[in-house]
């Protein structure tokens, strides 16, 4: 169901994208549009995507958000959301991330999947996802909600491209059948101290289930996951707030480390 007209969708997209590009907090949009639906919010997100592509940015992947209980509990939202990844979100392994480009970033340990076949529809299984996966690779997402104090509801966060802002890929890619993804461990350290840890099953029992859920959510708009899509499956643990000077190292069991420094 939709409640917003095209003009309002465009205005909200401009508002939220400007908040991202100008690094400033805004009030969550459901304060002004309390009746807006998840479909309305998704329209806003796709309009932000269209604006970026029109400006010459490439869309290089997708992400799922709020797929673990740790994340849902942390944010007070009990359903997943998704977003897109633009080319300038990508930061090289070991890279420096200037705080001046962001509002109030947090880091999340995730498994990312690269697809080799299209995935489509509401009935995709974990087995089908694994069958359509070229490799799985360690990834850390840097999220940065544009909303004041990082407070939102599902509708507002979906419109805000699910807080997407940066990501780092590291370690080594693994074949989809190389490990049981539900028991793969991750350990996140900040400035040399362990701050969070978890295993793949935190994400919907199996990170591949998150890819299947993305296919299902996209099916609502008659969209598919094309072959060759990079997908971040969602934070395994609660997200960790960072500030200038913080060094992050996430160790992935048998897959190496993902590291970055905030400056
Ligand atoms: C929403 C995005 C969550 C994840 O991995 O769970 C997300 C947020 O918490 O700001 O990316
Ligand atoms: Mg995430």
Which residue owns the Cα nearest ligand 1 atom 1? 162
**Mutate which of 163, 166, 236 for ligand 1 pocket (most atoms within 8 A of beta carbon):** 163
**Mutate which of 67, 143, 238 for ligand 1 pocket (most atoms within 8 A of beta carbon):** 143
CB 231 within 8 A of CB 61: yes
Which residue owns the Cα nearest ligand 1 atom 11? 65
CB 223 within 8 A of CB 54: no
Nearest bound ligand to CA 234?
A: 1
Those residues with Cβ within 8 angstroms of residue 8's Cβ, 6 or more apart along the chain or in another chain: 33
Nearest bound ligand to CA 70?
A: 1
Please list every protein residue whose CB sits less than 6 Å from any atom of ligand 1: 63, 65-67, 71, 75, 108, 141, 143, 145, 157, 162-163, 234-235
Which residue owns the Cα nearest ligand 1 atom 3? 65
- Three-class DSSP category at 20: helix
Give the CATH H-level superfamily of domain 59-152+164-262: Fumarylacetoacetase-like, C-terminal domain (3.90.850.10)
Distance 234 CA to ligand 2 centre (A): 4
Q: DSSP alpha helices (H): ranges in the chain?
A: 6-21, 38-54, 69-75, 126-131, 154-159, 207-219
Taking the C-alpha atoms of residue 129 and residue 115, their distance in angstroms, rounded to an integer, is 8
Distance 81 CA to ligand 2 centre (A): 10
Give, for all 263 residues of the chain, the pLDDT tens digit: 999 999 999 999 999 999 999 999 999 999 999 999 999 999 999 999 999 999 999 999 999 999 999 999 999 999 999 999 999 999 999 999 999 999 999 999 999 999 999 999 999 999 999 999 999 999 999 999 999 999 999 999 999 999 999 999 999 999 999 999 999 999 999 999 999 999 999 999 999 999 999 999 999 999 999 999 999 999 999 999 999 999 999 999 999 999 999 99
Task: Find the angle CA(152)-CA(155)-CA(160) to the nearest 5 degrees.
Answer: 70
Task: Flag whether the pTM goes above 0.95.
Answer: yes
List of long-range contacts for 126-129, beta carbons under 8 Å, 24+ apart: 126/206, 126/208, 126/209, 126/212, 128/212, 129/208, 129/209, 129/211, 129/212
Distance 199 CA to ligand 2 centre (A): 15
């Amino acid at each position: 169901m939709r409640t917003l007209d095209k003009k309002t969708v465009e205005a909200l997209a401009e508002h939220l994208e400007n908040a991202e590009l100008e690094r400033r907090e805004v009030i969550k949009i459901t304060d002004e549009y309390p009746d807006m639906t998840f479909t309305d919010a998704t329209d806003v997100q796709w309009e932000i995507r269209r604006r970026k592509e029109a400006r010459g940015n490439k869309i290089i992947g997708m992400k799922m958000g709020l797929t673990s209980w740790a994340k849902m509990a942390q944010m007070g939202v009990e359903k997943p959301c998704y977003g897109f990844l633009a080319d300038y979100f990508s930061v090289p392994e070991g890279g420096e991330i200037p705080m001046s480009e962001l509002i109030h970033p947090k880091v999340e340990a995730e498994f990312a999947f690269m697809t080799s076949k299209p995935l489509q529809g509401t009935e995709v299984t974990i087995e089908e996802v694994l069958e359509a996966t070229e490799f799985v690779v360690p990834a850390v997402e840097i999220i940065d909600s544009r909303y004041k104090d990082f407070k939102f509801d599902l509708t507002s966060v979906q419109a805000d491209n699910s807080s997407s802002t940066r990501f780092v890929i590291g370690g080594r890619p693994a074949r989809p059948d190389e490990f049981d993804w539900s028991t793969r461990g991750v350990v996140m350290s900040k400035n040399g101290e362990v701050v969070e840890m978890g295993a793949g099953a935190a994400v919907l029992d199996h990170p591949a289930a998150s890819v299947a859920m993305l296919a299902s959510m996209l099916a609502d708009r008659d969209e598919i996951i094309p072959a060759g899509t990079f997908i971040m499956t969602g934070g395994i643990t609660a997200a960790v707030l960072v500030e200038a000077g913080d060094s992050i190292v996430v160790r992935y069991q048998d897959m190496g480390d993902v590291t970055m420094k905030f400056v």
